[in-house]
Amino acid sequence: MRPALHLALLCTLVPAWATTLEKLSVDEMVQKSTAIVRGRSLGSATTQRGSLIYTVYRLQVSQVLKGSLTPGATTEVYVPGGIYGGFRQSFAGSPTLNPGTDYVVFLWTSPRGTTQVIGLGQGVFDVKLSSSGEPVLSRGPLEADMVDGTGRSVNDQGLKLTLDRLQQRVRALLPRREVR
């Protein structure tokens, strides 16, 4: 058989994992999340569930903006993709949480108890201090196909906002009992 034919046959045997994300506003992420926390990444491990590989990040929670987690608690966050048993899966838009880095993360916990990030990388913000000492949340543009609520293709430009501005949005959008 010719090498090109071998390659074509091999490509049909390997599953293609295409990711298209709906672009979410901060307000949509606030409303759809079950928790919003600030925390430091403690490291990660990988696991397989069915045919999917997940990287499981451990976060040490330092501040809770929404939800029932408590400061000081450690939570696990499942992100699709990773390396497990010699196999690698990649999903466009999946975030990487580097150990020792401070993040604000928009989380959603399934009825089965699995906690994931809302909108993949859209729901993960690095926390840096401005020159005045104010926490600033930022994320770069995602390298994933994105669509708006009507299904039209859109570009992601990344996002930057202050922690104070996020807290204002949380207070404005949620019933008093959900705000921390």
To the nearest whole number, what is the mean pLDDT of the chain?
86
| Residue 159 token pair | 């996002």
Indicate if the pLDDT at residue 124 is higher than 90.
Answer: yes
H helix runs in the chain, sequence order: 3-13, 26-32, 163-173
Each residue's pLDDT tens digit, 113-122: 899 999 999 9
Three-state secondary-structure class, residue 98 = coil
Question: What does the pLDDT average to over 147-168?
Answer: 89
> Can you give the residue ranges of every domain in the chain?
20-173
Three-state secondary-structure class, residue 90 = coil
Residues 59, 40: contact at Cβ < 8 Å?
yes
Indicate if the pLDDT at residue 30 is higher than 90.
Answer: yes
Least confident of 2-16, 43-57, 132-146: 2-16
Each residue's pLDDT tens digit, 80-91: 999 999 999 988
Residues 107, 36: contact at Cβ < 8 Å?
yes
CATH architecture of 20-173: Beta Barrel (2.40)
Residues 122, 25: contact at Cβ < 8 Å?
no
Q: What are phi and psi of 108, to 5 degrees?
A: -135, 130
Residue 151 is given by DSSP the state: S
Say which residue, 158 or 62, is predicted with more confidence. Answer: 62
Local confidence band at 144 (pLDDT 50, 70, 90 cut-offs): confident
